[in-house]
Amino acid sequence: MKLAGKSALVTGSSSGIGAAIAMRLAEEGADIVVHYRGDRDGAKETLKRVEAAGRRGCIVRADVARLPDIRRLVAKAFDFAPLDILVNNAGLEVPGPFIDVTEQDYDKVLDVNLKGVFFTTQGFAKKLIAARRPGRVINISSVHEDLPFPGFASYCASKGGLKMLSRDLAIELAPSRITVNSIAPGAIETPINAKL
């Protein structure tokens, strides 16, 4: 097991890609902080599968669009274990023609997909730097960081921003022995993409 003795926080791990990532990390030996915003049953199922793999886990509810929630999430995650890995997976999309996008819908997407990643990573990095420990950040982006997706302008903007944020933090955090990588999958049949 490559990750024996390690611990990870996976945001948005109550379903879809996040749940699969949490399980894969657990299978490799990591203890898991399962994060969710609205799907408590899904989070419980992920935790059950983590524990069935022989790993420890806990569940934390937080809205990664809100800075107080982010700070509480990071604090509770580090109370559970000294984290080694952060997977920023939580994300959402609000489809609609560009000319009809409201400020509320725009903020909803950017706050989760970009602001949430920014400040969750910041909190994670602060803890590691204070403890002089190395760490790994993995951002789950999308093929739409490069590929246009008409009707999803806010989503594309958030993922394009995430691509540059990942590149910038990879350089800025490297001296602290914190690596930052981004994965940009294409369409995967998960709850967010079911209708597509």
For residue 44, what is the domain's CATH number?
Answer: 3.40.50.720
Is 20 within a domain?
A: yes
Q: Global pTM?
A: 0.93
How do residues 79-92 score in pLDDT, each as one tens digit? 999 999 999 999 99
Q: At 88, give phi and psi (nearest 5°).
A: -85, 95
Which of these ranges, 59-68, 93-102, 137-146, 171-180, has the smallest mean pLDDT?
137-146
- What's the pLDDT at 184? 87
Q: What sign has the CA pseudo-torsion 167, 60, 127, 6?
A: negative
Is 134 within a domain?
A: yes
In the chain the first and final C-alpha atoms are separated, in Å, by 36
31: tokens are 């203890």
Q: Label residue 193 by pLDDT band (50, 70, 90).
A: low
- What's the pLDDT at 1? 77
Residue type, 155: Y
How do residues 25-84 score in pLDDT, each as one tens digit? 999 999 999 999 999 999 999 999 999 999 999 999 999 999 999 999 999 999 999 999
Is 194 within a domain?
A: no
- Neighbouring-strand partners of residue 165: none
Q: Which of 111, 112, 123 is nearest to 173 (CA)?
A: 123
Three-state DSSP class for 57? Answer: strand
pLDDT exceeds cutoff 90 at 190: no
171: tokens are 């350089």
137: tokens are 């950040």
Three-state DSSP class for 33? Answer: strand
pLDDT exceeds cutoff 80 at 148: yes
Is 153 within a domain?
A: yes
Question: What's the structural domain count of the chain?
Answer: 1
pLDDT exceeds cutoff 80 at 195: no
- What's the pLDDT at 116? 98
Active site residue 155: yes
Is 2 within a domain?
A: no
Is 158 within a domain?
A: yes
Query: Would you list the DSSP string of 2-32?
Result: TTTT-EEEETTTTSHHHHHHHHHHHHTT-EE
Is there a contact between 13 and 43 (Cβ–Cβ < 8 Å)? Answer: yes
Is 1 within a domain?
A: no
Distance CA 85, CA 108 (A): 26
Percent of the chain residues past pLDDT 90, beyond the cut: 89
Name the catalytic one among 155, 156, 161, 173: 155
Is 135 within a domain?
A: yes
Tell me the helices (H) and strands (E) count for the chain, helix number first. Answer: 6, 6
- What's the pLDDT at 186? 83
Residue 138, domain extent: 7-186
